[in-house]
Amino acid sequence: MANVLVLLLMTAAGLIPFFAAAAWMKAGKVGYTMTLFAILAACLAISVQASTRLMGVDPIKAIGAALLVFLPATIGCAVGALLGWMIERRRVKKFQGK
């Protein structure tokens, strides 16, 4: 049962930023997408840093948050931004007649 919960957590953490980034990139809101990506990447970096040094955070919880939440979210956001950009690029080419 714990394995299923871990997979659901990782899937939700990756899919939510994926769909948000893809929708924002399709709508041309690149700033929102980059802000989301920067926040997620910063949280990932801080969590990894907290797992190796004494920062007042339990290292096990820090690396768990990094690997279970922030890494899938960062990857999902990057892939969603790429997908949204590709869809928008195809849409623009289609209307230009190329």
Residue type, 86: M
Dihedral angle computed from the Cα positions of residues 39, 15, 32 and 48, in that order, rounded to the nearest 10 degrees: 10
Q: Exposed, middle or buried by CB within 10 Å (0-12, 13-18, 19+), for 10?
A: middle
Query: Alpha-carbon torsion 53, 54, 55, 59, what sign?
Result: positive
List pLDDT tens digits, range 52-82: 888 888 999 999 999 999 999 999 999 999 9
Q: CA of 72: how far to CAs of 25, 27, 53, 81, 93, in Å?
A: 19, 23, 23, 14, 31
Q: Are 72 and 12 in contact (CB under 8 A)?
A: no
List pLDDT tens digits, range 13-60: 999 999 999 999 999 999 999 999 999 999 999 999 999 888 888 999
